[in-house]
A and B are shown apart, each in its own frame.
Chain A
């Protein structure tokens, strides 16, 4: 235990400060790769880093009942100490701005700086949702114009802009379905969810009060159409299908499925989280979709993976659009934009089911998404999906001779390439390969998802990677796959070069330490 890790709160690195070549430093730092303690270890609980005025000239707090009687035990740091602490921690992080981030199902793509610049313009960044509407016409026009783009790109009748992320959008879509069914006095109880759908889908359906029934996948990784249509009936409110699905495949039978669901009186929800694979090429409205959320934070830039915020507008068919939640924008004859809210919904939007959030949604995401759409143009958006699919297929075909690709024979994949651990040496798993990827300088891909594939490795390179960048990643993956198949013991203990060696994930889950114990 060295000076940096003095409370022993964090997992030990083995020999403190020992690099892979055995050099031990006294500080725990390795060259300019800096070790960093907890803020409680660095800061002094008895000190304060800020110089408060002893007498602020105001009323004395002496004797007031809410005056604190014991110290709060916050670590006191000076400003440079605090800045260095967080900067050092950020240097131990991996980010999309450092390199390829192949996390499947997450669309970790480059976030154009132009969109950031637009989002920071004061007319978008510094407005308040309760400002009079005539003072925020620019921001409202961005919302209205973005809404029209989303409707056009998806071929749908309407859009509910306010949901704040993908799963929130799913809930909004299902509440629209529920409202539409209730409006016709049709109490249906079941939502069908195929195995190839996103994991949030069954959770959303259950949260919306529906009973979830699973539909199996076929051997080629798509929805079993026969099983799904056989289950349809007067109790089925709808189906939730992810397209492209979590196996990275296009659900080519979606139109057939939608026709069957509609004939049985149900609705089709499409999880559009993977819209970046089809934008500009497929309009979900043409496939019979009734509701689909679009993750603005995945398809249309915005910082993703940094804790949000997200934004998940839901496009709606003619049958569901009247039930969309408030508020939303409408353009008046004089060109100005007005918000439809409770006060004026009676005339324009009487069937709205309520609200998904207090105000108008994520303004910062709207401005970024519209900037992304306008800077790419229609042809650019079409190239986005083309490049996303091309890059994923390049990864798939470059690695299928060393890694098992369970659906490789099913034709081209969409935006992500899926591999299994079939062929690894005894005792070697997907986890070992993922940890080896850290030594190679990459954030690991998504592992053990989707569940239908043994030891799944889901790689989504996204459209923003160059061929050179992909070739380097493929080279790393080839080498790791060969080591996993040969049973290289050094891979079993990877990572060796990261700030921490392999962490005990089981212990962390079983006995998590969530509170720093105050040192005597």
Chain B
């Protein structure tokens, strides 16, 4: 399953016309301990680049932007009790929401894993 990355440190994994979105391991390491995750409601429609979720850490509250446009199908309810999953497994069990894509062409603007690694190495 292809995985794409944004310059704002979100990842999106696409399977058919649905996708899972989270923040990258680099992002969680910069934020520090996550204390609360505000998840989007199922059914919410988001535009590419819209703020869809907020991640609170001991340092700051940070917006998480939708990498592509579409409709949210579910938020990761496990994060309500265990926001620390974003720290321990940002690119796995710490996913934030699932969504359907309205325009898979938007994926072309995103980075693949190697491009993202090179992008982070430059920071």
Contacts and interface: CB of A to CB of B under 8 A. Distances in A.
Given A509-B36, A510-B84, 10 more contacts: A505-B33, A506-B35, A506-B58, A509-B33, A509-B35, A509-B56, A509-B58, A510-B35, A510-B36, A510-B83
Interface in B1-49: 33, 35-36
Interface in B56-92: 56, 58-60, 83-84
A244 B59 CA distance: 23
A509 B58 CA distance: 8
Of A447, A505, A509, the most chain B CB neighbours within 10 A belong to A509
A505 B59 CA distance: 10
Contacts of A187: none
A24 interface: no
Q: Give 6 nearest A-B pairs by CB, closest first.
A: A509-B35, A506-B33, A448-B59, A505-B58, A510-B35, A506-B58
A447 B56 CA distance: 16
Contacts of A509: 33, 35-36, 56, 58
Contacts of B59: 447-448
A451 interface: yes
Nearest to B33: A506
A169 to B, nearest CB: 23
A309 B55 CA distance: 31
B30 to A, nearest CB: 8
Interface of A: 447-449, 451, 505-506, 509-510
Nearest to A455: B59
Nearest to A506: B33
Interface of B: 33, 35-36, 56, 58-60, 83-84
15 contacts: A447-B59, A449-B60, A451-B60, A505-B33, A505-B58, A506-B33, A506-B35, A509-B33, A509-B35, A509-B36, A509-B56, A509-B58, A510-B36, A510-B83, A510-B84
B60 A448 contact: yes
Contacts of A448: 59-60
A449 B59 CA distance: 9
Nearest to A456: B59
B83 to A, nearest CB: 7
A509 B37 CA distance: 12
Nearest to B59: A448
Contacts of A506: 33, 35, 58
Nearest to B123: A454
A447 B83 CA distance: 23
Contacts of B33: 505-506, 509
A391 B60 CA distance: 28
Contacts of B83: 510
Contacts of B60: 448-449, 451
Nearest to A447: B59
A451 B60 CA distance: 8
Contacts of A449: 60
Nearest to B58: A505
A448 B33 CA distance: 13
Of B33, B36, B56, B83, the most chain A CB neighbours within 10 A belong to B33
Contacts of A505: 33, 58
A129 to B, nearest CB: 37
Contacts of B36: 509-510
A449 B61 CA distance: 11
A509 B59 CA distance: 11
A413 to B, nearest CB: 22
A200 to B, nearest CB: 13
A485 to B, nearest CB: 20
A268 to B, nearest CB: 25
A509 B83 CA distance: 11
Contacts of A451: 60
A451 to B, nearest CB: 6
A447 B60 CA distance: 10
A478 B59 CA distance: 24
A246 to B, nearest CB: 13
Nearest to B61: A199
A332 B56 CA distance: 54
Contacts of B35: 506, 509-510
A448 B62 CA distance: 12
A505 B33 CA distance: 9
A509 B56 CA distance: 10
Nearest to A510: B35
A510 B86 CA distance: 13
A189 to B, nearest CB: 16
Nearest to B56: A509
Of A447, A449, A505, the most chain B CB neighbours within 10 A belong to A505
A254 B56 CA distance: 33
A352 to B, nearest CB: 35
A505 B60 CA distance: 13
